[in-house]
Structure 1
Amino acid sequence: MNLLRETVEDDLDRLQSMNDRDARVGHKTADSSFFGYKTHLAMSEERIITAAVVSTGEKSDGNYLQTLIEKSKEAGMAVETVIGDATYSGKDNIAYTTKEEIELIAKLNPAVSQGTRAKEDEFSFNKDAGLYVSKAGHLAIRKAKQGKKHQSQNQAMTYDFDIEKCQRYPFQEGCYKAGAKSKTYSETIKSAEHTAQMAFQETESFKTRARERYKIEAKNSELKHRHGYETASSSGLLSMELQGAMAIFTVNIKRIIKLMEE
């Protein structure tokens, strides 16, 4: 079984050099992966999709919060509250929503807080696996917390990557040094910067609104299972964007008609 698993993982890596050169390997959990794209969605309380961004499969959802909010505003939405999972609770997103006077209903996760990090465009956090992903789509194989609490220096979370994959990495410059025997990536955990958010997430208002997050998952399920959005109909990021535009337009029209009937 281990040999089969390793063979499948190697095949997924090599798929990147096949016909669909835009697609990348993404991860739903630490043990499962997919080859393709992601669609990041924003949705109103009436369950109408107000914004969408299609990205390659390895990208983190949290990177697109600000874009989704701005797109929703451009579409005429007045954004007062945003509900999402822990991947949206990064430091930059907290700062942005605070500045825009938007309530951010997203629980803090020390691994997502993104205190002090280098190469922020090269490594992204996968909230399902709880690990970082490199630019090539390689998922870290383990993580460990460094340092002690209540000391002068902040604790850090260190992520280790598979050195054999790094040696085949097509984007080694600035990331992996040839001949190195290990590849790690660290982030400093600064929970003190999130004191206000930590207090907010303990309130009844936060907990009540957080229960509404299931609505976006239901919309994702509708797109995938009723409108064929689970599988790309063609190759390339542009083709995926076109497929997404058609599927999202369809589910929005259906929802608008339903609301008019009510």
Structure 2
Amino acid sequence: MTNLVNPDGRWGFKNKRTPFFGYKAHASMDASGIVTSVQILSGNEHEGEHLPELLEQDVRKGHRFTSVVADKGYESIGNRNTIRNHGAKPEIPSRNAGILAKTRFRYRPRKDTFVCPGRKETSGKIPFKGGFLYHFSQTDCQNCPLKTACLGKKETRKRVYLSDRVRDSLQSQRSLRRALHDRKAIERTFGELKQWHGLRRARYRGKWRVAIQVYLTFLVLNAKRIVNLIQGRSSKPVPAS
């Protein structure tokens, strides 16, 4: 729906129960806490769909990165491939990673195998539809006392499918946890922007006017961060004067 007073604004959701009308500031940040690129999106646009554009902005500016950390909203095969094409590692939690915890088969990331309820490991894997199909030994399955409850009528051995994105996420869980912990810095940054710099509300009508407000606000924030880095201070938010 278009608002005649603010024609560029759109309805979006902060969460399932909290709608808002306006815009989104979509930003990337380096390890030092400096915001490197910013996009202005309408309220109904999904940030995850604009990740490739944000990375291209960083590349054009000469920024180099070895990994890209983002939350589940950015989780897609396209985004993962885009990050890899830039020579970086995607550090994005998978939406489906928790599903395996509810199954009877346990994945072992270090060995890249599954263990069944009968404590047998998979004997191999084959590529299958954007992932791998892991299979157990036919001999183990046929001699297993649990085969009646585990195998289908036409199955001679059990197979378990695991997509590439879930597999990547599980194999790098330890580093992913560290990366997501570091990612909280950008959440603190947005909290500072809203609390001390007035970015909770758009001051003007029209996307290009809002863009000026956002760019100037991030410019001030970066200036403060640079001063703190030069003086060796921590990254704690500093109230605006």
Normalised by the length of structure 2, the TM-score is 0.66
2:25 is equivalent to residue 55 of structure 1? no
The match for 2:63 is 77
2:8 is equivalent to residue 22 of structure 1? yes
Residues 232-243 of structure 1 aligned to structure 2 (within 5 Å) = 232-243=202-213
Distance 2:222 2:70 in 1: 20
The match for 2:135 is none
2:209 is equivalent to residue 223 of structure 1? no
By how many angstroms is 1:195 displaced? Answer: 4.5
Higher-Rg structure is 2
Distance 1:57 1:200 in 2: 35
Q: Is the 8 A contact 2:48 2:73 kept in 1?
A: yes
Among the aligned pairs, what percent are the same residue? 24
By how many angstroms is 1:220 displaced? Answer: 0.5
Matched AA of 2:188: A
Match of 1:89 among 66, 75, 88: 75
Size of the aligned set, in residue pairs, is 170
By how many angstroms is 1:197 displaced? Answer: 2.2
Distance 1:195 1:261 in 2: 42
By how many angstroms is 1:43 displaced? Answer: 0.4
Matched AA of 2:53: T
The match for 1:197 is 168
2:221 is equivalent to residue 256 of structure 1? no
Distance 2:95 2:167 in 1: 14
Matched AA of 2:33: R
Q: Is the 8 A contact 1:200 1:206 kept in 2?
A: no
Q: Is the 8 A contact 1:107 1:201 kept in 2?
A: no
Unaligned runs of 5+ in 2: 97-128, 130-160, 233-241
By how many angstroms is 1:76 displaced? Answer: 2.5
Deviation by residue 1:75-127 (Cα, 9 ceiling, x = unmatched): 231111111100111111011112222111111115xxxxxxxxxxxxxxxxx
RMSD: 2.1
